């Protein structure tokens, strides 16, 4: 997502980031269905069945766990995101929990596994994209099977005909192209939970599973870009800096801006969250004076978590929520 799209509450589908491990599948929507496995009753739901169920909509901020990976000093071999792997869309669909209750969740269930239709070879093994989610998370009221994005049927690249939305969690949990939902009496041990998406320094360590998005803010680039360097040039005088802030754990409580290379900080104006898991807009009025300025923004959420100057390095290059720094040249004239 180009960072200038931080000025919009909702990210248009064509500007929203994409992360696709394998090939985009193109299932026939008329014959497509989700199969429920390991539940008390067999259940198979077509797109028509999903659309006939109670409908819910909510704006949700999605961020890839690897967002910021390419800004770590060591460069893990994976998608080299700078800061653009984020977006907020209005997702519509049907809540997951009532579906699981209809299928009947066996008493011994600990995880629910969600499998997509896409297959590939990762870590040397052929597999489908599949993620496990703890039962308590899967039963949350706001977790949904979405079949629309910003009021339109899902695009193929965003998981058509239907995908999972787990508000607050990093992107990898939001399984696209849903094919099968399985109740498991043991923790899910597939590749995307046990090998990928873990915070660790050595491959041999079990590490810690990535779950909720860390607190983060980003600034929309001020002024005009130069081509091809994309340096930022701004006219002197009053201007309003703006951006968005989010956290998967709690509402944002504070956003601060620095005009001097993160030496001193002042509070930005923060708007309330439009929904529990959608980013919050912030603004900061500044009278720009000629010269080079190192701007920065940082957010703090209601748990007290705040963005670090530098995030801890880790093998997968995940969860880099370091303070966002933006250099701008304020020109002498208008
Ligand atoms: N089936 C399937 N689901 C998937 C993926 C995938 O490769 N296959 N990628 C995941 C990752 S890592 C992210 S960040 C989000 C991205 O969702 P988007 O492309 O709609 O923005 O989808 C998740 N769901
Ligand atoms: Mo991701």
Residue among 20, 87, 91 to mutate when testing ligand 1 (max atoms within 8 A of CB)? 20
- CB-based contacts of 29-36 (< 8 A; 24+ apart in sequence): 29/160, 29/161, 32/161, 34/145, 34/162, 34/178, 34/179, 34/180, 34/181, 35/179, 35/180, 35/181, 36/99, 36/103, 36/180, 36/181, 36/182, 36/183
How much is the pLDDT for 334? 65
Structure letter (DSSP) for residue 78: S
Alpha carbon 82 to chain centroid, angstroms: 14
How much is the pLDDT for 75? 84
**d(CA 175, ligand 1 centre) in Å:** 6
List all residues whose CB is within 6 A of at least one atom of ligand 1.
16-21, 62, 64, 116, 118, 129, 158, 171-172, 174-177
Whole-angstrom distance, CA of residue 134 vs CA of residue 139 = 9
Residue among 5, 19, 120 to mutate when testing ligand 1 (max atoms within 8 A of CB)? 19
Tell the residue nearest (CA) to atom 16 of ligand 1.
19
- Which is the closest atom of ligand 1 to the Cα of 116? 1
Whole-angstrom distance, CA of residue 61 vs CA of residue 166 = 10
How much is the pLDDT for 76? 86
Phi then psi for 51, rounded to 5 degrees? Answer: -70, -25
Residue among 87, 174, 210 to mutate when testing ligand 1 (max atoms within 8 A of CB)? 174
Mean pLDDT split into 10-residue runs, the chain, 334 residues: 98 98 98 98 96 98 98 91 98 98 98 98 95 98 98 98 98 98 98 96 94 98 96 97 98 98 98 96 98 98 98 96 98 82
Query: What is the Cα gyration radius of the chain?
Result: 21
How much is the pLDDT for 26? 98
Domains assigned to the chain: 3-209 (3.90.420.10), 216-330 (2.60.40.650)
Q: Please name which ligand lies nearest the alpha carbon of 19.
A: 1
Whole-angstrom distance, CA of residue 240 vs CA of residue 306 = 23
């Amino acid at each position: 997502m180009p960072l200038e799209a931080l000025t919009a509450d909702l990210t248009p589908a064509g500007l929203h980031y994409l992360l696709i491990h394998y090939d985009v599948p193109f299932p026939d929507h008329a014959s497509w269905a989700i199969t429920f496995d390991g539940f008390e009753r067999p259940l198979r739901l077509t797109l028509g069945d999903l659309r006939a169920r109670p409908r819910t909509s909510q704006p949700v901020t999605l961020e890839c766990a690897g967002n910021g990976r390419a800004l770590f000093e060591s460069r893990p071999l994976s998608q080299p995101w700078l800061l653009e792997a984020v977006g907020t869309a209005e997702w519509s669909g049907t809540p997951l929990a009532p579906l699981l209750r209809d299928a009947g969740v066996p008493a011994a269930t600990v995880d629910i596994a969600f499998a997509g239709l896409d297959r590939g070879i990762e870590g040397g093994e052929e597999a489908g994209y599949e993620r496990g989610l703890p039962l308590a998370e899967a039963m949350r009221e706001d977790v949904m099977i979405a079949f629309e994005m910003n009021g339109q049927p899902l695009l193929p690249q965003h998981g058509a005909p239907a995908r999972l939305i787990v508000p607050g969690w990093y992107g990898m949990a939001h399984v696209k192209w849903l094919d099968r939902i399985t109740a498991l009496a043991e923790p899910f041990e597939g590749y995307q939970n046990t090998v990928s998406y873990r915070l660790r320094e050595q491959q041999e360590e079990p590490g810690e599973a990535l779950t909720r998005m860390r607190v983060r803010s980003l600034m929309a680039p001020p002024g005009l870009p130069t081509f091809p360097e994309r340096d930022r040039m701004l006219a002197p005088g009053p201007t309003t800096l703006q951006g968005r802030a989010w956290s998967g754990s709690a509402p944002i409580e504070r956003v601060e801006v620095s005009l001097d290379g993160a030496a001193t900080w002042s509070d930005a104006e923060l708007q309330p969250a439009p929904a529990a898991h959608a980013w919050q807009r912030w603004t900061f009025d500044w009278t720009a004076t000629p010269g080079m300025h190192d701007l920065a923004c940082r957010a703090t959420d209601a748990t007290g978590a705040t963005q670090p100057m530098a995030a801890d390095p880790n093998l997968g290059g995940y969860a880099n929520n370091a303070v966002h720094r933006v250099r701008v040249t304020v020109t002498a004239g208008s």
